[in-house]
Structure formats: C-alpha cells, structure tokens
Amino acid sequence: MLGFSGSRERDGSEVERPEISAARIEPCSAGCQNDPDISNIANSLIMTAFDFRTAPHIHSGAGATARLARIAAPVISDRRRIFIVTDKGVRQFGLLDRAIASLEEAGLEVDVFDGVVADPPKDVVLLAEDQARAFGAEVVIGLGGGSSMDTAKLVSLLLGSKQRLEDMYGVNNATGPRLPLILIPTTAGTGSEVTPISVITIGESTKMGINAPPLYPDLAVLDAELTYGLPRATTAATGIDAMVHAIEAYTSKIEKNPVSDALALAGLKKLHGAIETACLDGSNPQAREDMLLGALLAGQAFANAPVGAVHALAYPLGGVFHVPHGLSNSLMLPPVLRFNSEAAEPLYAELATHLGLHASTDGLVAEMERIADVVGIETRLSQVGVSHNDLPRLAEEAMEVKRLLVNNPREMTLDAAMACYEAVL
Ligand SMILES: [Zn+2]
C-alpha cells in the first residue's frame, strides 16, 4: 500500500517540535519573532502528526470489468489461476460474466466460490480457503458487496501467509504476506475495497474484526454498471452507511487528519448529491458513478480516521436482529449525532455548511432524516422488530464495541446509549 506520515508517532497526541515553527518565521526581517501576528501564523502551522494509507491503484470506469484482464495485468503479471469470491445473488444477476469472459479471453483459468453470505461466518471463510487451495489459486478477486470483499481479503491472507485465522483477529495482528488481491464492489456503501478491515461472525452473533495493512488490496476497480440493478432499499441503506462513514471519519476523535478530512468532505458531497437520484432512477449512470466514488472516498477516510458511536450502536442491531449494516447505521445516526453535538457541534456545522445546509448539528440531522424519508428507509427500531424490552441488551452490547467508542467525539455511557435507542424506538 501507499502511505505517508507525519514526523511523529501515530497516537495523534503530539505536535511538531517548536523549532519547525521557528524555521518557518526565519525569513522575516530582524525582530519579527516578537511580532504577535507572526506568532499567530507560527502557531497555526503547528499540526498533529498522522499516518495515511490507502490502496495503491484505483481504476474507475463504467464497464471496467469487461476490460478486467487489461486493467489488472500489473497485478496478475505471469500468474494464471484466478480465484473469484462472491455470493450467489451476484453470480445469478450475471455480474461476474464480463469479468470472467475478460480473464478467460486472456488465457487465464478462473474458479468461483459463490458461498458468501451477509455477515460472513468464519466457516464460510474456511470453506472458501479450502476451495482456493484445491484450485491452486494465485490471485484472489473479491467481487460483490462488503461481505464478499471481506471474505476475499482473508482468503488471500490465509493462502499467502502461514498465520491461522484466529491469530489475525484485532488490530495489526495479520502480518501477511498474502496473494495478490483485487476488490470490485457491487454496492456503494462499505468502501471495503479501500479499507484494511474484514469483519466476520463467530458463533451466533459475535463480530470479529481483522484490521491490518496487508488487507488493503493491490487494486480496487469501480464499475458503476455493476450497481445499476441494485434494489432501491439496498441502494438507500448502503448509501446512507457510506454517508455515515464520512461523517464519523470527520469527527473521529483520535486519528482525524487533514487527508481523511478532505476525502470525507468530498465523499459526503458526492453521496449527498447522488443518493436520491440513485434510489429513484437506479440506472442513472452519473448518480451510480457518484455513489461508488463517494463510498470509496468515505472508505479511504474512515480507513484512517475510524468510525465511532453510530457504528458501535448499530452493531448489536445487526448481531441480535440481523438488521442490515447500512440500515442499522441509518437508524442510529440521528440520536447519536444529537448526543455528540455537545462536543462536535462545530464539526457537524462544517459538514452541514459543506452541503449547503443550515450550519448546525440540527441542520445536518434534519437533512439525513429527510433523505431517509425520501428514499423510503425505516426510521424507527420498532419497524425492524425491536421492542422496549430489548433496549438494555442492545445498550450493553454496544458498550462492548470499545474499539469504535474510543473514536467517538463525546464519551458514550450506558445510560446515553439507552437514551439513543429509546429516542428512535
Ligand atoms: Zn458502515
């Protein structure tokens, strides 16, 4: 992966050394160091150190999968056996056809694992690994939604490294190497094609995350034509999820940085401008391309400035009630943003201004609620089967998602989590 970093540690708590500021004011005429205006400029140059990483190669173009062999040639090189990880729906819709035709026309051998399901269980990952080994896979392609891409990432790691899956859980525990990896999304939401994260399910509902740089792919391919047939509800939920990625990255407490900020702003604007058209006119090429690009930009942002309490409170809805990830986040966004506003009002106001809205948390939340209404997505927990008695369990499980809660701009408590769920029951 590509990366660059500031000059100090990643914990984000330290600043550049004072001599950097001194060097910046050196060209002034004698005595200017005592000038208060110059001091202010020097202070404004002090910045927090940070890292930023992303995938080294992104190709975007409608119909790109028809040219996949050519686009992916630098990754495939002289390898011949290409293993595609996907789900049955994607395969039945014919979304693999052009990619497979392109690869086979180039003389490559292709095998397909189509057993991925939502919130992929560990067993599915291991089944895909077995099939890939039996085939002798040399390159792995994840083509589908977030679950297919997450599974493909792990298959490439399991085949390329000597680590067991159990030893990869957590942050920076997966060390690689992995097989060459190409990711091609068929939904505009997770941004998984540019994140170093894989989430799988252990047992009935426990989510385990694997987060490490080897999970960035060698190549991400955006082909908007793959998303033309996405149903409206999926377009709405995954699109709002991507908007949440941008919003939470922009207010991420620990690793917020200027590069992720720029990407979050650009991604949010594209998604905001396109989501209604994409939902109401699914084959609109511009709207579909903007949604895919917006989701990718938001993905690049939150891969480096992680999401917070909206996602933490959304996770138990997926685990306990099997509410799709995007819808869970859409449901929890308004109450969490209102709770956070005490700490993050200026940042939410910046986001609202960027979208041409009233510069406040209320302006941003009202717009997200309006969009949910227009695209016809559920807005109450009771609409997805949650009752009042379920709230304590949801709140307790949300408080366990500490890896995300630490990024939230305001400290989330059990009582506050309860109140957030109650507000949208
Ligand atoms: Zn998400």
CA atoms of 304 and 62, how far apart (whole Å): 27
User: 100 C-alpha to center of ligand 1: Å?
Assistant: 29
pLDDT at 121 over 80: yes
pLDDT at 39 over 70: no
CA atoms of 371 and 315, how far apart (whole Å): 22
Helix, strand, coil content of the chain in percent (nearest 5): 55, 15, 30
DSSP string of 145-164, one letter each residue:
SHHHHHHHHHHHHHHHSS--
Confidence band of 47 (pLDDT split at 50, 70, 90): low
Domain boundary among 195, 226, 257: 226
Per-residue pLDDT, 41: 47
User: 158 C-alpha to center of ligand 1: Å?
Assistant: 25
Taking only the tens place, the pLDDT of each residue in 59-71 is 999 999 999 999 9
- In CATH, what number is assigned to the domain containing residue 66? 3.40.50.1970
Per-residue pLDDT, 113: 98
pLDDT at 15 over 60: no
Per-residue pLDDT, 48: 76
The residue-averaged pLDDT of 358-384 equals 96
DSSP string of 278-327, one letter each residue:
HHHSTT-HHHHHHHHHHHHHHHHHHHHS---HHHHHHHHHHHHH---HHH
User: 329 C-alpha to center of ligand 1: Å?
Assistant: 7
Specify whether 343 is located in the same domain as 247.
yes
More confident residue, 31 or 262: 262
Specify whether 235 is located in the same domain as 212.
no
User: 257 C-alpha to center of ligand 1: Å?
Assistant: 19
User: 191 C-alpha to center of ligand 1: Å?
Assistant: 8
Specify whether 276 is located in the same domain as 410.
yes
pLDDT at 406 over 60: yes
Q: Structural domain tally of the chain?
A: 3
- In CATH, what number is assigned to the domain containing residue 240? 1.20.1090.10
pLDDT at 136 over 50: yes
Torsion of CA 230, 235, 238, 242, to 10 degrees: 120
Specify whether 265 is located in the same domain as 349.
yes
Mean predicted lDDT score pLDDT of the chain:
90
Specify whether 295 is located in the same domain as 374.
yes
Per-residue pLDDT, 203: 84
pLDDT at 20 over 50: no
User: 107 C-alpha to center of ligand 1: Å?
Assistant: 38
User: 244 C-alpha to center of ligand 1: Å?
Assistant: 7
| Least confident piece of the model among 18-22, 250-254, 259-263, 409-413 | 18-22
User: 198 C-alpha to center of ligand 1: Å?
Assistant: 12
User: 104 C-alpha to center of ligand 1: Å?
Assistant: 34
Specify whether 354 is located in the same domain as 270.
yes
User: 84 C-alpha to center of ligand 1: Å?
Assistant: 24
Percent of the chain at pLDDT exceeding 70: 89
Specify whether 390 is located in the same domain as 302.
yes
Per-residue pLDDT, 319: 79
Taking only the tens place, the pLDDT of each residue in 280-301 is 999 999 999 999 999 999 999 9
User: 73 C-alpha to center of ligand 1: Å?
Assistant: 31
Specify whether 44 is located in the same domain as 174.
no
pLDDT at 56 over 70: yes
pLDDT at 119 over 90: no
User: 26 C-alpha to center of ligand 1: Å?
Assistant: 46
> What type of residue is 361?
T
Taking only the tens place, the pLDDT of each residue in 153-191 is 999 999 999 999 999 999 999 999 999 999 999 999 999
CA atoms of 283 and 193, how far apart (whole Å): 22
User: 192 C-alpha to center of ligand 1: Å?
Assistant: 9
Per-residue pLDDT, 24: 33
Per-residue pLDDT, 102: 98
| Least confident piece of the model among 4-13, 395-404, 413-422 | 4-13
Specify whether 254 is located in the same domain as 154.
no
Range of the domain at 238: 231-423
User: 312 C-alpha to center of ligand 1: Å?
Assistant: 10
User: 242 C-alpha to center of ligand 1: Å?
Assistant: 6
